[in-house]
Chains A and B, each alone.
Chain A
């Protein structure tokens, strides 16, 4: 005798189970220590800086429906604010309640000027589970002379890093989800299309979009824990798991960053900020540090390449991201840039696409994400550990198939 399985989709059955789990807004889930996942990433950039509507990225992400289970999704938009707001830091927050918001505003006012603030527009999506935190944005100018900063007379960027780490670590019920200029992150606990609808991202046109959909295996949904994970204008969408997390975490903490988001992606974001912004290293060098070539391949480089490669591996060994990963990284300065790369064993999928008219570049976990919005495109895989770099105004600067020191780009 056998009992046949019912005809409804398996995915729906699992999602009913997730609905019974507790969900969290800004406040950290109790008792959680680490959240793992298997996910989808997608990105699009108009290389002339023309605007791409948000529904395009939402469609890319949602096409990869198998890569999410409704426990988190997010979008980062670059180049979306008008000229009078582009040069201010746009801080977007998730607040669990008004109190968290008040404390945060006080904190910010002690450290600079809030030029403008507003509720981030949202729409009602019935299927989106509570809690639904308050999402608010502040256009902010920090004052490095403020007594409240621990380090005196530091740069504005450093002020912002200190402020964001301070709020995320110390103010309960408040999490800053983006803190860069001319960019913003929209994310939460829900399916990719639910989050897209909740934030009505179709109302935004941006030169570049990065996005991520989650498939956590063992944790409750948490608005703040979704990707992209962002600091200043850096945002990272990550598929995979970093086996060197303990080492990388200590390294970034030793350099002054505070990890509070319970996900390995956080260390990736801070490592990019440390290597590129603070240490001034070009993006391809940072990529070599995070996904270094094997020693046996270093031996076959020319003298200068060998010397440089050994220096990078020896000096920055704690920044090596071990384990399978594919990541999309975005920044807005000096120009809007997209970086796409996979680990040195290429254990996670990553497709790059360029539209036939040469105007748009795509990156995604699966080809169907690209094809669903761009019928005519060339697609290719980047080499393991080799970054694809595309920049507004310049196009695809690196295709991701060049040797490690082949194209020395900023």
Chain B
């Protein structure tokens, strides 16, 4: 495996396609649309300029100047999805490529599909949103693709160094996306917070990786998984305090990225400030990527029982994080009047439910990874759908994020209200939706091993609390009289995104068996 093998390119084809697609989009933006008009690049996002006929020349399927770029990015994502399917069929067993840097297995392919779905749905929402709010810029799509590239690297990472590169590639693009809404002060504030905390988290993570490398002599997760075997670091490493601190820092860095309490402080501000399509992208795809990495690290690099169990093992840490994340997320969401912020806290809470699955993985191993994958996909549809409705409902002068602005919405827009109800019920875990089945699936594996019953009870109690604030929105939409006339954004992309997300949420809830089958095939890892 010392020689470069051209088949490696084929195995990482989706990653390559997305990366190249991102670069091409960036070049295209610079050389055509951006030329002579600094609107896209320099910050004078005047709507009038965007509407100039000359700038329509780039060709548009959806009828506005930068729709062409959106279309291209959707085509790139569709191609990547198609390639993921072929890679899925190729890798019946995990394959390590690029000299131990990347691993291609069905786990990473499944996660890749989750990212692609998330990115595609967000891109659909973004076009109309940016046009309405007059900050349309073509790099948006390139940045989404770059971020997706980072996520794919993260999903494939077999070495802590590639893991770090993936995290950084993903995060850097998202920092820019969060701050891209330049005439919104909240957007800048959110970006600043997210960037500072994110950079700090990255530093902590990198420091942890350095400590692990310094004590064990390797940064390969596969080597760390086989500590004590011939040619691998000796068992004594596991007792080394510096090594343990390194592991702790690494997990802490990832906990920042998944926004687990108490490392969640940035999330509400970043989520609220970011342009809503970006919020959707962060809440779904970025979270899924971070969870994918967390699971991979815990299940390979830290799979030794010495690191898993015991008072300082990650099983305990994860259980504590899960409890805190669920409870704080839900209790904070309970008292939000801003829907976007409420959904931000709800997204924190959902990280908690996922951490229940991660905790169960300590006991149940690969069996717990199917539920996590299922939950991530279901959550991606649901959460992007809900943010899509939020993005769609507000207009430029009137963002309509306060819950009172939603009063009587169902009487004007019954279909959108129905879609929002489906998303909220799914977030609350009420059947027949993806959210219910995902929770059931996670609870099932958690209860199948003794000792986690209490965590499931905590999760159930939290679900109950969450239903209260989700239903508050439903009640407002359906039970109250219409307030000001709603002026939603006219955008076929947004409507399509809502429809697809609702469809996905219901299909995953009603006929989950095929996905359960796929998810269980995707749990094979190297090691353990």
Report if A and B associate in a common complex.
no
User: B residues bordering A, Cβ < 8 Å?
Assistant: none
User: A residues bordering B, Cβ < 8 Å?
Assistant: none
